[in-house]
């Protein structure tokens, strides 16, 4: 199973402010949906609370130590390892870590692939993605995406694989690139 991190961050590696995303990038959200659709996604409790619901078309794994009930469509996992084991046991081909900051820090050592939407600008964030060891990663793809509507942002979408791993790119990236 490929363990992938999918993240959008600003020029300071900021990923959020006050429990929400401080920019609008509809093209990034559409790409997130296409990449993660039909797969297991793993998120921390705070990320789940900020989304406020289970994301449809995916198996939502929420990492939390709290004994709490979750809506139908979400599965509680006591740890990142437990979430990954759950996905692996169900023959998942690619499991996506979708945030937040603490879970990204834990998952970075386990990740095989990074999908990064690097947002143009800085947004005074209070949660950050951890620094990358650049020699550990190899860029497979980079595409600049221009804002299409007022109030939205430009970003660069990048795919990085752990050095030494040649993983196939998902078909949705070919389709997405052809539509742009």
Asked if 103 contacts 63 with a C-beta cutoff of 8 angstroms, the reply is yes
Q: Mean of the per-residue pLDDT values for the chain? A: 93
Q: What is the number of other CB atoms lying within 10 angstroms of the CB of residue 128?
A: 17
User: Is residue 82 helix, strand or coil?
Assistant: helix
Q: What residue spans define the domains of the chain?
A: 2-179
DSSP lists the bridge partners of residue 75 as 61
Nearest-angstrom CA–CA distance, 128 and 105: 10
pLDDT (average), residues 80-87 = 98
Predicted pLDDT at 178: 45
CATH 3.40.430.10 fits 2-179, yes or no: yes
Q: Could you give the percent of the chain with pLDDT greater than 70?
A: 97
pLDDT (average), residues 34-52 = 95
pLDDT in tens, 105-158: 999 999 999 999 999 999 999 999 999 998 999 999 999 999 989 999 999 999
DSSP assignment, residue 37?
Answer: T
In this model, does residue 17 exceed pLDDT 80? Answer: yes
pTM to 2 decimal places: 0.94
Q: How far is C-alpha 171 from the geometric centre of its chain's CA atoms?
A: 17
């Amino acid at each position: 199973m490929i363990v992938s991190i999918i993240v959008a961050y600003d020029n300071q590696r900021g990923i959020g402010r006050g429990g929400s995303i401080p920019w609008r990038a509809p093209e990034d959200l559409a790409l997130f949906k296409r990449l993660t659709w039909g797969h297991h996604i793993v998120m921390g409790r705070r990320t789940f609370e900020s989304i406020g619901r289970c994301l449809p078309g995916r198996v939502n794994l929420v990492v939390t130590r709290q004994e709490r009930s979750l809506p139908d469509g979400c599965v509680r996992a006591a740890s990142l390892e437990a979430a990954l084991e759950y996905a692996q046991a169900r023959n998942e081909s690619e499991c996506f870590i979708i945030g937040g900051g603490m879970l990204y820090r834990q998952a970075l050592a386990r990740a095989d692939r990074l999908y990064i939407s690097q947002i143009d600008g800085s947004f005074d964030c209070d949660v950050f993605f951890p620094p990358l060891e650049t020699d550990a990663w190899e860029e497979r793809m980079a595409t600049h995406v221009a804002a299409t509507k007022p109030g939205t942002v430009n970003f660069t979408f990048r795919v990085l694989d752990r050095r030494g791993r040649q993983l196939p790119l998902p078909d949705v990236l070919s389709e997405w690139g052809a539509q742009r």
